[in-house]
Amino acid sequence: MEPGEIHALLGENGAGKSTLMNVLYGLYQPDEGEILVDGTPLKLKGPSDAIAAGIGMVHQHFMLVPVFTVAENVMLGAEQTRGGIGGFLDRRRARREVAEVSERYNLRVDPDAVIEDLPVGIQQRVEIVKALTREVDLLILDEPTAVLTPQETEELLAVMRSLKAAGKSIVFITHKLGEVKAIADRITVIRRGKTVGTASPEASRDELAALMVGRSVRLTVDKAPAQPKEPVLEVTGLVVDDDRQCRAVDGVDLTVHAGEVLGVAGVQGNGQTELIEAIMGLRPVLAGSVSLAGQGIHGWSTKKVLRAGVGYVPEDRSVDGLVKEFSVAENLVLDIYDRPPFGSGLALKPDAIAKSARERIEQFDVRTPSADAAVGTLSGGNQQKVIVARELSRPLKLFIAAQPTRGVDVGSIEFIHSRVIRERDIGTAVLVVSSELDEVIGLADRIAVMYRGRIIGVVGPDTPREEIGLLMAGITPDAATPENAATPTAATPDAPTAATTGDTTDGTTGPVGDPDGTTAGPATEGPVNEDKA
């Protein structure tokens, strides 16, 4: 990092961006390697060391006390007192500092406003002010635009520019290409915990997307070509809200045939979770229909859906998949405990449960000290195998696996993948949702890319990763490719304005205009393609 530089860190979810920055900020300790500040190695034991070394961080989730004023939040942790020991908080001084900093960098923050009354964008600026009053030289912004509206994003970019002008360095973490191109001086792309390349902001979106998604070792899954038969799962016009009553799934049509794997790719948070939960009856369906083998199942209880022959591996195993205090055996019957042979009437059959547990542990190679061990004591991979074993040990019509291998070791990944394929080969329809593109490409016979609550394309598994990567970023190929190839002139008018201002318009309207895209229809193509210069 150079002084006065904006360095963008680009990568997919879980690529290791946040981890890296948490190491820089002293929250995590590095296992190996060292951090150099001004040429000297630095040992960070905690955030206070990092602040002392001039490193500040604005987290993805703000660390503010909602009922405090801006000034109080800013002085929190570095309270100035007057009047000696047991003195009074020097609120006046904190207010003055906030006012000064906000004036100097044109942040426009009112020191007396109460945090919970402020919009998210301003709250973020309070975080920035907080860092700046600690006299930092390097500011880490962890996915700052994830929670912002387009206007707020634009303002944030302006703030970043004025900070840059004041000689502060900024590390800007994101996976949005447009913002990076708009503001970054240098771009480092991280994938699977490794730096895979450094690019200049002049690099095209295609190049960046390729770097980001990567051509890493494909996790090879041995499989024969699919023999799709009749459609099993049909989703039409599905509309679902998320927990905050925001539209998460906005008219999704999806068909999964018996004997095929449909992979749903997409950056996390684009409605995949809600889509699956709606199919499983865990989330109300607002509009549209879901049918299983021709029978409408929307509005059914989860139990009924499971009974109808749907196996479900939830994406967050520790929250939704397992009861950690329960034994492995109990978790293996978590959704079939009341059916023969495990339960009849009101009585459980512990012998049958224990017997089936021993078989499953054997079949699915679950490494556990015993069937009675609490499942929380197992490794992540083995916990996941318990869930997969549970779901695959009854006859299924449809198998849904969400993030089946997240946080799972390589050996278990291969095992789980082979099981998924085996299930497909016996004629089950399989729906795999993953934010790991490698996984989707490896498993799927068809890939549906989900973006902002919609399926924006269904492609074959042989589609180039770059193209899928672009789809994941919301750029449809039929709009991008022809223009790219045929009309370089279309982009030229923008090229001369490659200075800061020109870039802003490009960058912000591209990806940031996407929320508009969902509300006002697919209108993203135009501005996006201007970047191709």
- Residue from 134, 355, 358, 406 binding other proteins (CB under 8 A): 406
Tell me the three state secondary structure of residue 96: helix
Using CB under 8 A, which of the segments 49-57, 246-254, 325-333, 512-520 binds other proteins?
325-333
In terms of residues, how long is the chain? 533
Strands (E), 314-386: 343-344, 347-348
Residues 169-228 touching other proteins, rule: CB under 8 A, are 192-195
Question: What residues are paired with 9 via a beta bridge?
Answer: 173, 188
280 binds other proteins (CB under 8 A): yes
Query: Is there a contact between 162 and 520 (Cβ–Cβ < 8 Å)?
Result: no
Choose between 18 and 529: whose C-beta lies nearer to other proteins. 18
- Binding segment toward other proteins, per CB under 8 A, in 116-124, 239-247, 301-309, 421-429: 301-309
CB of residue 148 vs other proteins: minimum separation in angstroms? 17
Among 1, 27, 42, 523, binds other proteins (CB under 8 A): 27
- Say whether residue 340 binds other proteins (CB under 8 A): no
Q: Quick one: which of 312, 399, 415, 451 contacts other proteins (CB under 8 A)? A: 312
* CA–CA separation, 280 and 433 (whole Å): 14
**Of positions 274, 436, 466, 494, contacts other proteins by CB under 8 A:** 436
CA distance 398 to 431: 8
Q: Is residue 54 near other proteins by the rule CB under 8 A? A: no
* 269 is a contact residue toward other proteins (CB under 8 A): no
Total binding residues toward other proteins, as defined by CB under 8 A: 66
Binding of residue 13 to other proteins (CB under 8 A): yes
Minimum CB separation of residue 467 from other proteins in Å reads 23
Q: Which is nearer to other proteins, 13 or 492 (CB)?
A: 13
Q: Judge contact between 483 and 490, C-beta under 8 A.
A: yes
Q: Is 346 near other proteins (CB under 8 A)?
A: yes
Q: Would you count residue 498 as binding other proteins (CB under 8 A)? A: no
Cα–Cα nearest to 153, from 408, 511, 441, 478: 511
Listing DSSP states for 170-191 in one string gives EEEEES-HHHHHHH-SEEEEEE
Q: How far is CA 519 from CA 166, 249, 448, 454, in A?
A: 38, 12, 21, 12
Cα–Cα distance for residue pair 107/207, rounded to 1 Å:
34
Minimum CB distance to other proteins, residue 437 (Å): 12
In the complex, the smallest distance separating the C-beta of residue 388 from other proteins, rounded to whole angstroms, is 14
Cα–Cα distance for residue pair 199/422, rounded to 1 Å = 41
307 interacts with other proteins by CB under 8 A? yes
To which H or E segment does residue 73 belong? helix 70-75
Q: Is 24 in the site for other proteins (CB under 8 A)?
A: no
Q: Three-class SS string for 33-47?
A: CCEEECCEEECCCCH
CA distance 45 to 300: 52
Bridge-based pairing state of the strands 88-89 and 6-10: unpaired
Judged by beta carbon, residue 182 or residue 264, the one nearer other proteins is 264
Contact flag: residue 142 with other proteins (CB under 8 A): yes
> Closest CB to other proteins among 31 and 462?
31
Contact 405, 416 (CB under 8 A): yes
Q: Looking at 163-171, 338-346, 362-370, 419-427, which segment touches other proteins (CB under 8 A)? A: 338-346
Contacts of 526 (CB under 8 A, 6+ apart): none
Which residues bind to other proteins, rule: CB under 8 A?
13-16, 18-20, 22-23, 27-28, 30-33, 59-61, 63, 142, 192-195, 268, 280, 282, 301-307, 312, 314, 316, 318-326, 330, 334-335, 337-338, 343, 345-348, 350, 374, 376-377, 379-380, 406-407, 435-436
